[in-house]
Chains A and B, each alone.
Chain A
Amino acid sequence: MTDLLRAPLLPELVAAMAEAAGSPIADDHLHDATELLSALYALETRLSQLDLDGIEPEFRWDARWNRGTGATA
């Protein structure tokens, strides 16, 4: 488990990131876009509560459980 330590996102930083990515954000969207991105960062930080060591991401998602004792008939 690794803690994510991040500085708060500011609109100026988000604007600069968007410029650098070649997709500037309109001024009247910047505040809301910053809030959304901050929320997503916060959610990702919560995932550090899980022990993900040794787990590989599955790019072809399969909902089936490979093992299991089965339930009642």
Chain B
Amino acid sequence: MSATNITASDPCELSVAEAMRLMRLGELSPVEMTESSLRRIEALEPTLHAWVEVMADEAMAAARQAEDELRRGEDRGPLHGIPVAVKDIVDVAGVPTKCGSKSREGVAPASEDAPVVTGLRLAGAVVLGKTVTQEFAAGVVSAPARNPWDPDRIPGGSSGGSAAAVAARVCPIAVGSDTGGSIRIPASVCGVAGLKPTYGRVSKRGVFPLAWSLDTVGPIAGTVADTALMLNAIAGYDPLDPQSTDEPWHDATAELDRDIAGLRIGVVRDHFLEQVQTDVAAAFELAAPVFAHLGAEVIDVNWPEAALGRATGLIINRVETVGVHDEAMRARPELYGRELQIRNEANRLFPSAGYLRALKARVAIRESVRRVFDEHRLDAIIVPTLPGTAAPADDLAVVYDDGSREHVSFAYTRLTSVFNCTGQPALSITCGFDRLGLPIGLTIAGRPFAEARICRIGQAFEMETRFSDRRPALLGGDEPRSAT
């Protein structure tokens, strides 16, 4: 199954932190790293289908510039010379933003970078190209992209191309977006880290909307530390984005060097373990004691209102999606995929009173999670990211041990969308593998704007378990992550 010409010592396999160290020692150059990424795209793309646009010439020019700057002693920081993938709902200057939709064929190239891309470039990152998304980010399949752990399976979505690229170690970081789970879902099934930041922390200007009051943009990366490094490059108040929050700067890496002794972590089971695959439940139950072993106080907590998070989030999501697409879809329905067409046709008939009820419910659910955190003085809660692992591309269902089936579009968002509803930050990391060797995700959710705290907790777990070191089948399976 593994592609030829791929070795664990290829520079593109390095984490940001490892690459940064080698570049500063003069043992690796941005050009070498970008060339390595481009070679890997060439080797894997016939199987992976993760990219809609590879900007090879532009990337090599940016890498040469990054290399010249480093030679002159101009260091832009940790992302200097690091290749990055960008989900194709995010504007990159000079490239059309096609959003995975026929309706965007022939659209003019973006005239400027979205602020998240500007932030990455200012930090010295090298944009490799645009990755596959479900049409307008509305779904969890991301066809035609495939999962590096088993190319017969889906990478999840809607940021599936970004997660597949990172999991295949084409590049260490990628831009995703998350409205109901679209960063955490592909991160979970592709065995990488995905961080949905606090709502309002990252500018959404230049990012095609799905549901404006739920949309977030954030990092997908091979390690927790790399998500934090990337978040620092893209976060910040944007006065031109009406949903951006004017908060003081928070350094997402600020706590990475600290242990988690004394931190208080709530384990939420009820709703989150009601219907999950046995292997997911087992991995989750094995994960909780790891935090205790690392010195955290692990506390069982109840959060009954979480069971209504998906209902609330989904209603808001569906009604706002109509608000975004209705006019264009009425004019040219044939330019949209069948799934999105039907969704719009149905959802435009949903009563406005129901939307208002969901907006009120969201306030109640935000208050309920605040109470849980305050009552138990929590730093974070942990839950399974998804009820199941990656589904086969030709059978889009999560199958449970009692034989029951749930379509991925319902199953994958059932546990994730509550955190879009509350707006709090949520980090998905790998907490084990199922009997088929497919990754299982764990979510660490924190207080608003406390990304540094959940990254600290996630990194401690990651360093202890080393699940992030495992290599997917497409790369030839288990070999240790390269150190050079």
Contact = CB atoms under 8 A, between A and B. Distances in A.
B424 interface: yes
Report whether over half of chain B's contact residues are helix, strand or loop; otherwise say mixed.
helix
Contacts of A61: 199-200, 213-214, 243, 362, 423
A63 B361 contact: no
B333 to A, nearest CB: 8
Interface in B357-387: 357-366, 370, 373-374, 377-379
A29 to B, nearest CB: 5
A10 to B, nearest CB: 13
A40 B315 contact: yes
Contacts of B423: 61-63
A47 B350 contact: no
Interface string B303-345: 0010010111011001000000000001000000010011101
A55 B363 contact: yes
A6 to B, nearest CB: 11
Nearest to B200: A63
A41 to B, nearest CB: 8
Size range of the chain A interface in the assembly: 35 or more
A47 to B, nearest CB: 5
Given A47-B357, A63-B422, A69-B377, A17 B364 contact: no
A44 B359 contact: no
Given A21-B349, A62-B245, A65-B370, A29 B357 contact: no
Contacts of A32: 342, 346
B245 A63 contact: yes
B289 interface: no
B330 A52 contact: no
B348 A23 contact: yes
A63 B347 contact: no
Interface in A13-34: 14, 17-18, 21, 23, 25, 29, 32-34
B361 A50 contact: yes
Given A44-B315, A44-B354, A58-B362, A18 B262 contact: no
A50 B367 CA distance: 12
A68 B51 CA distance: 44
A51 interface: yes
Contacts of A29: 338, 341-342, 345
A7 interface: no
B349 A72 contact: no
Given A43-B315, A44-B357, A58 B346 contact: no
Contacts of B262: 72
Contacts of B362: 58, 61
B311 A71 contact: no
B161 to A, nearest CB: 26
A47 B312 contact: yes
A21 B348 contact: yes
Interface string B234-268: 00000000110101000000000000001110000
Contacts of A58: 359, 362-363
Nearest to A47: B361
Contacts of B349: 14, 17-18, 21, 37
B359 A57 contact: yes
A27 to B, nearest CB: 12
A32 B377 CA distance: 45
Contacts of A55: 360, 363-364
A71 B447 contact: yes
A5 B449 CA distance: 40
B363 A68 contact: no
A61 to B, nearest CB: 4
A29 B348 CA distance: 14
Contacts of A41: 350, 354
A63 B342 contact: no
Contacts of B144: none
A71 B347 contact: no
Contact of A33 (B314, B342, B449): B342
Contact of B364 (A46, A51, A64, A70): A51
Given A33-B345, A56-B363, 12 more contacts: A17-B349, A36-B343, A36-B346, A37-B349, A43-B314, A44-B315, A47-B308, A47-B312, A55-B360, A64-B448, A68-B373, A72-B264
Interface of B: 198-200, 213-214, 242-243, 245, 247, 262-264, 305, 308, 310-312, 314-315, 318, 330, 338, 341-343, 345-350, 354, 356-366, 370, 373-374, 377-379, 422-424, 447-450, 453
30 contacts: A21-B349, A23-B330, A25-B346, A32-B342, A37-B350, A40-B314, A40-B315, A41-B350, A43-B315, A44-B315, A50-B305, A50-B364, A50-B365, A52-B360, A55-B360, A56-B363, A57-B356, A59-B359, A60-B243, A61-B199, A61-B214, A61-B243, A62-B199, A63-B424, A63-B448, A65-B366, A65-B370, A68-B447, A69-B377, A71-B453
